[in-house]
Structure 1
Amino acid sequence: MSVAQPSVLPFVAAQPLVDHHCHGVLRAGGDLAGLLNEADGAAVADGMAFDSLAGLAFRRWCPPLLGLESHASIEDYAERRAGLDPAEVNRRFLDACGLRALCVDTGYAPGGLLSPAETAGFAGAAAFEIVRLEQVAESLAGTGVSAAAFPDAYRAALSERVAGHGGSGVSVAGLKSIAAYRVGLDLDGRRPADAEVVAAVSRWLGGRYDAGDDGHGGYKGDGGDEGGDGGTGEGGRVPRLADEVLHRFVIWCGADLGLPIQFHVGYGDRDVDLHRCNPLLLTGLLRALEPTGAPVMLLHNYPYHREAGYLAQVFPLVYADLGLATHNAGARATALLAEALEMVPLRKFLFSSDAFGLPELYYLGTLLFRRALSSFLAGRLDDGDMGLADAERVTRLIGAENALRAYRLDG
């Protein structure tokens, strides 16, 4: 199924995309309003989620794939969707995305969520896994490991997880930190000594509690999954890692493995304190991590996408994307992408959908990205700022080659 639209440059429409940060889709069903954006509860009641640019984009672009006219009502859309086989719904939307590879974050995998391989199979794409650093720590804590043994045990557990043991059955391409949700991004750059880690683990495991779901009942971006997917300790209680020393420790352990480390930045659900998610707060840590050679991938970034572009400009191993902000901006995705590209080297910007649960989010993420990139490049071509060969090369870089290089997916 073609993703080309009349206003999209042919070479942009034809470019196979590498989605360097995304999640699995649901085997069946899914709350359309609840998964469309980062709001939940009363904030999405009475169809409020669809009275947004994201909702308008959904109703413009998604209905035709189910045989409806653009702008069909959400009620008619939901009825038609429910009448189709769930696998067919997944196939229609994912097959229309034009994806080459998916790097799937498996840090949250509720019942009914397809594996990376299953999700990628609907798209006809290769699958890779992104391992959540904090999930490995929480799973290890659930085994009853002592504080004194934790530093060495974590290093061993992370290495084993990266090797694929106990994982999703596909190769691990990178790691991810959700420090933004737990403690914010104002992290000390210094590598913590093991003695500091032992003391921090003692504090952490001494305060076990039921992590619940971080204040809401479903997945919302990177927030709703942060509490309860680790290992289970005494009485079914799971310790929620929220200690600055331990977040630094797991990040440094990941950097020692040399894999790309993704950081949630900026936009997320209401569990996040947005003012603590400015990527500029990472500056000291980025300086400290640079000698390790581990690439740092700044995810989402809105409303700090310009700050992320600056960091990608001045730090050789820092990359940036727009993530789920692309489909949330709807028709404004074009303007948002232009802002994100103001400072960032074009060899340092990547495509990401951050889609979760609904195959429609993959489709919207890829389609709106293609339209935004095409508009940006067409403007540069019209103004004589670049030649056609440059525009084609930039499309290859942002659409796939930057991710293939940073994650070593071809090597």
Structure 2
Amino acid sequence: MSALPVPPLVDQHCHGVVRGDPDDDLFASFLTESDLPAADGTSFFDTQLGFAVRRWCPPLLDLEPHCPPARYLDRRRELGGAEATRRLLGACGIADYVVDTGLGRPGELLAPRELAAAAGGAGSHEVVRLERLAEGLADRAGGLSSFLDELATGVPAAARTAVAFKSVIAYRHGLDFAPEPPAPAEVRRAADRWLVGRAPGDRLTDPVLMRHLLWSAAETALPVQLHTGFGDPDLRLHRCDPLLLTDFARAVRPTGCALVLLHGYPFHRGAGYLAHAFPHVYADVGLALTHTGARAGAVLAEMLELAPFDKLMFSTDAYGLPELYVVGAELFRRGLSRLLTGWVDEGAWSSGDAERVAAMVAAGTARRVYGLAPGDGASASFG
């Protein structure tokens, strides 16, 4: 079959990119989930992600594919950070960015509208990180009662402008939390413990307060994104298996809130099962595809084994570098193209169904879940 026409992508979970020109060490730090430098004599460019960056990004900066890292970084500096970002984002084919604004220091990253403008006028939509919201309220609160009052109004207020909430309870505690909402007295005691002796900027790690935030967000009926699976060493991977959310998914369903399970790898098949078992659970394919590089198609195939096709969404989880948007989009397009074209060619799928599923995963489901307007961009093709 010929290449599959698909709409411009909706990146349903991503972050801003750094302002200016990252130095070589900062650039390399975005190629790994490790929070430490590479071992002596090694490079983070020698990874599936590093090779993918060298394959897909150099031509956008007038270089040959697979050019040496030093030459690529030199060329990036020649162009300047703003021009490199404009070229790279402009080539991604992403029509809308759904941006988690809870990562990075203030002013360090491009804001959602700046990110979209650098991409040539794409749409931008904010995801509010619950823990960051509570931390900001605690920084300004005059005491326990003031904090609880601000928390009670702060989540509904954020829901008026955001398209979703996100929680990193997987990082701060683990997904093996009690599924039911905590009682008001329990919340009050937890808030009192947290606020006593707290310095401005201290992170929220109390599982009771994070459960309270999750349920407060669910009651707004906006989608709630949850980190699952791998990430930096701040988490404990065995406590990030999305299957640990089974009881919470069951308990939260009456609120009408959609749960979006992010990343998943290496537990992505479990995320696919939850999307299969619960009508309000969705999963994305972000981050895992970027880091698995040439093996991205295999990971995507495993996600498509059990997850209903209209419950799976594209994302990059790009953070810091515009290159990560390029790689995420390119690996997704090519991986899905090979899979669906192969299934059509062997007679397992019809070409019409393949085109319909490609459009859902690329953009249609995200537009439905987050209430985004239909895209106006022209169709693009895989391959």
TM-score range, shorter-chain basis?
Answer: over 0.9
Gaps in structure 2 of 5+ consecutive residues: 375-383
| Equivalent-residue separation in structure 2 for 1:97 and 1:154 (angstroms) | 38
The 5 A counterparts of 1:160-175 are 160-164=157-161, 172-175=162-165
Give the match for residue 195 of structure 2: 205
| Equivalent-residue separation in structure 1 for 2:197 and 2:286 (angstroms) | 34
Structure 2: which amino acid aligns with 1:239? D
SS in 2 for 1:131: strand
**Percent pairwise identity:** 49
Give the match for residue 378 of structure 2: none
Q: CA deviation at 1:44?
A: 6.0
SS in 1 for 2:97: strand
Give the match for residue 32 of structure 1: 27
| Equivalent-residue separation in structure 2 for 1:392 and 1:145 (angstroms) | 55
| Equivalent-residue separation in structure 1 for 2:2 and 2:122 (angstroms) | 23
SS in 2 for 1:97: coil
Q: How many residues align?
A: 369
User: Within the alignment, does 1:182 sit opposite 2:172 as a pair?
Assistant: yes
Give the match for residue 115 of structure 1: 111
Give the match for residue 11 of structure 1: 4
Give the match for residue 192 of structure 1: 182
| Equivalent-residue separation in structure 2 for 1:338 and 1:145 (angstroms) | 52
Q: Does the 8 Å contact 2:159/2:222 carry over to 1?
A: no
| Equivalent-residue separation in structure 1 for 2:40 and 2:20 (angstroms) | 22
* Higher alpha-carbon deviation: 23-32 or 112-121: 23-32
Q: CA deviation at 1:408?
A: 1.0
| Equivalent-residue separation in structure 2 for 1:51 and 1:128 (angstroms) | 34
SS in 1 for 2:163: strand
Q: Does the 8 Å contact 2:227/2:263 carry over to 1?
A: yes
Superposed CA deviations along residues 120-147 of structure 1, whole A, max 9, x for unmatched, are 1122310000000111111111113432
SS in 2 for 1:280: helix
| Equivalent-residue separation in structure 2 for 1:44 and 1:16 (angstroms) | 39
The 5 A counterparts of 1:88-167 are 88-110=83-105, 111-123=107-119, 124-164=121-161
Q: Does the 8 Å contact 1:205/1:239 carry over to 2?
A: no
The 5 A counterparts of 1:7-406 are 10-12=3-5, 14-30=6-22, 31-43=26-38, 46-110=41-105, 111-123=107-119, 124-164=121-161, 172-209=162-199, 232=200, 238-406=201-369
SS in 2 for 1:41: coil
Q: Does the 8 Å contact 1:150/1:198 carry over to 2?
A: no
| Equivalent-residue separation in structure 2 for 1:158 and 1:94 (angstroms) | 32
Q: CA deviation at 1:113?
A: 1.1
| Equivalent-residue separation in structure 1 for 2:40 and 2:281 (angstroms) | 39
Q: Does the 8 Å contact 1:141/1:239 carry over to 2?
A: no
| Equivalent-residue separation in structure 2 for 1:129 and 1:44 (angstroms) | 37
| Equivalent-residue separation in structure 1 for 2:202 and 2:101 (angstroms) | 19
| Equivalent-residue separation in structure 2 for 1:316 and 1:355 (angstroms) | 27
**What TM-score, normalized to structure 2?**
0.93
SS in 2 for 1:386: coil
Q: Does the 8 Å contact 1:116/1:127 carry over to 2?
A: yes
Structure 2: which amino acid aligns with 1:19? D
* Higher alpha-carbon deviation: 28-37 or 182-191: 28-37
Q: CA deviation at 1:343?
A: 0.6
Give the match for residue 381 of structure 2: none
Q: CA deviation at 1:321?
A: 1.0
Q: Does the 8 Å contact 2:11/2:97 carry over to 1?
A: yes
Higher relative contact order (CA 8 A, sep 6+): 2
| Equivalent-residue separation in structure 2 for 1:57 and 1:205 (angstroms) | 45
Q: CA deviation at 1:57?
A: 1.3
Structure 2: which amino acid aligns with 1:250? L
Q: CA deviation at 1:240?
A: 1.7
Structure 1: which amino acid aligns with 2:321? L
| Equivalent-residue separation in structure 1 for 2:206 and 2:342 (angstroms) | 46
Q: CA deviation at 1:239?
A: 3.0
**What TM-score, normalized to structure 1?**
0.87
* Aligned-residue RMSD, C-alpha: 1.6
SS in 2 for 1:130: strand
Structure 1: which amino acid aligns with 2:49? A
Q: Does the 8 Å contact 1:28/1:112 carry over to 2?
A: no
| Equivalent-residue separation in structure 2 for 1:199 and 1:148 (angstroms) | 11
Q: CA deviation at 1:149?
A: 4.3
| Equivalent-residue separation in structure 2 for 1:45 and 1:292 (angstroms) | 51
SS in 2 for 1:21: strand
* Higher alpha-carbon deviation: 385-394 or 49-58: 49-58
Q: Does the 8 Å contact 2:89/2:325 carry over to 1?
A: yes
Structure 2: which amino acid aligns with 1:119? L
| Equivalent-residue separation in structure 2 for 1:360 and 1:403 (angstroms) | 22
Q: CA deviation at 1:50?
A: 1.1
Superposed CA deviations along residues 159-189 of structure 1, whole A, max 9, x for unmatched, are 223334xxxxxxx110000000001001211
Q: Does the 8 Å contact 2:21/2:80 carry over to 1?
A: no
| Equivalent-residue separation in structure 2 for 1:142 and 1:50 (angstroms) | 39
